[in-house]
Chain A
Amino acid sequence: LKHASLKQVIAARTIPPIENYGRQMALTVRRVSRIVAGLALLLMVGGQLASWVGARTPDAAGTLMAQLPGPPAASFHMLFGAQTLRSPYGVMSLGILALAVLPTISVILILVDNLRARRWQEALVAAGVVAILVLSSVIGP
């Protein structure tokens, strides 16, 4: 550790974490992160592959590169329609949205943990952060 940087020390796990929330909650956050991130990656990879196959050109990837940035992601309204999973573009948009809401899910888990432990003030702070994150999804033009 003689010449280790701060981040290396954290990465090397030589320091016990401050137990602001229980070990069980930390593991739950990690598990949920893996599941949601995995789902998001699956949707994004699946959508991308399907869009290449769907392009039906010998150089689909090159064609897509030439068209960058391409169309914007599907709107929230369109995403919750029945057609979303039938379109590679909708599937990719859904994957991006899953990744974008992952931090919100982590904060919700911390909120639930605080509510269960009756740490009301901590729960109120977490609820405030969730409220701003929800507001950000509806406030856009």
Chain B
Amino acid sequence: LGGGIFLVPALTLLFKLPIRVAVGTSLIGVIATSAGVASVSRPGRGADIGLALRLELATTAGALLGSLVAGLLSAQALAFVFAGIVLATAIYTYGKTRRKPGPATEADLEALFRTDYRPTHWPAGLSLATLAGALSGLSGVGGGFIKVPVMYSVMDIPLGVATATSNFMVGITAAASALVYYSRGDIHPFVVVPTALGVFLGAITGARLASRLKVGVLRKGLIGLLVLVAIQMVWKGLNGN
């Protein structure tokens, strides 16, 4: 996770900040997460960099478009868009919990990261990558919940490679939107700086702890939290505050 799915609701619901400021802050948070992980582990590990950059042509263009549209939408509309994205993330995470437990044998691991694949269905892949970028620009999330299924199910990329490639792409997509939010005056240092520092330290700690955590338990807690956040954001959209 890039962290945006938690940051935007935390900043809007707990700190009562305008949603556009929260989204701008979240985008810098996503970049901080990406930078934090890149500084402790080898950047792009397991990722297909060529595929990532080809998809980024579409994703960054979508992010640019999404962040420009975000400047035109009302706060209520943005709250509804965000609630929809949170629900989609909850459904995606639920789908993950229902899959069989992770790879057990070396052969399974090799299948996840096999190198003999050839990406297919480029037009559909690029179109959906543009959508992922647009949603990232609108809501401040990384968009991995769209990119991974698109690469895996539509473009026939092995799941391991798709996940690593999506992780590599998150910071680049967020950068395209963040610069638009910066130019528009939606980045506020007194909000962004403490958030980015916390996120950066959290990302480094998380990257070091990743191999020791019980992901199944975390995912179940996450689903509950996401559903609560979605309800809160719909409520916020309906009440307009």
Which residues of A does B touch, CB under 8 Å? Answer: 1-18, 20-21, 26-27, 29-30, 33-34, 36-37, 40-41, 44-45, 47-48, 51, 64, 67-73, 75-76, 89, 92-93, 95-97, 99-104, 106-107, 110, 122, 125-126, 128-129, 132-133, 135-141
Chain A interface helix/strand/loop/mixed: helix
Chain B residues closer than 8 Å to A125, beta-carbon distance = 50, 53-54, 57
Nearest A residue (CB) for B159: A6
A70-B189, A96-B189, A140-B179 known; A30-B38 Cβ under 8 A: yes
Nearest B residue (CB) for A125: B53
In the complex, besides A21-B44, A92-B193, 8 extra interface pairs with C-beta distance below 8 angstroms are A3-B102, A6-B163, A8-B215, A11-B210, A72-B186, A100-B182, A103-B34, A104-B172
Interface string of B13-56 (1 = CB under 8 A from A): 00101100100000010011011101101111111111001101
Chain B residues closer than 8 Å to A126, beta-carbon distance = 53
Once the chains are docked, how many angstroms separate the CA of A69 from the CA of B185? Answer: 11
Report yes or no: A132 in contact with B64, Cβ–Cβ below 8 A: yes
Interface residue from B47, B68, B180, B197 paired with A44 (Cβ < 8 Å): B197
For window 50-106 of B, CB contacts with A under 8 Å fall at 50, 53-54, 56-57, 60-61, 63-64, 67-68, 71, 101-104
A10-B164, A30-B39, A72-B185 known; A41-B103 Cβ under 8 A: no
Report yes or no: A110 in contact with B53, Cβ–Cβ below 8 A: yes
Chain B residues closer than 8 Å to A15, beta-carbon distance = 46, 109, 112-113, 160
Chain B residues closer than 8 Å to A76, beta-carbon distance = 182-183
Once the chains are docked, how many angstroms separate the CA of A76 from the CA of B181? Answer: 12
A45-B197, A73-B182, A126-B53 known; A34-B187 Cβ under 8 A: no
Report yes or no: A140 in contact with B43, Cβ–Cβ below 8 A: no
Report yes or no: B180 in contact with A140, Cβ–Cβ below 8 A: yes
Chain B residues closer than 8 Å to A106, beta-carbon distance = 38, 43, 171-172
Chain B residues closer than 8 Å to A37, beta-carbon distance = 32, 35-36, 39, 200
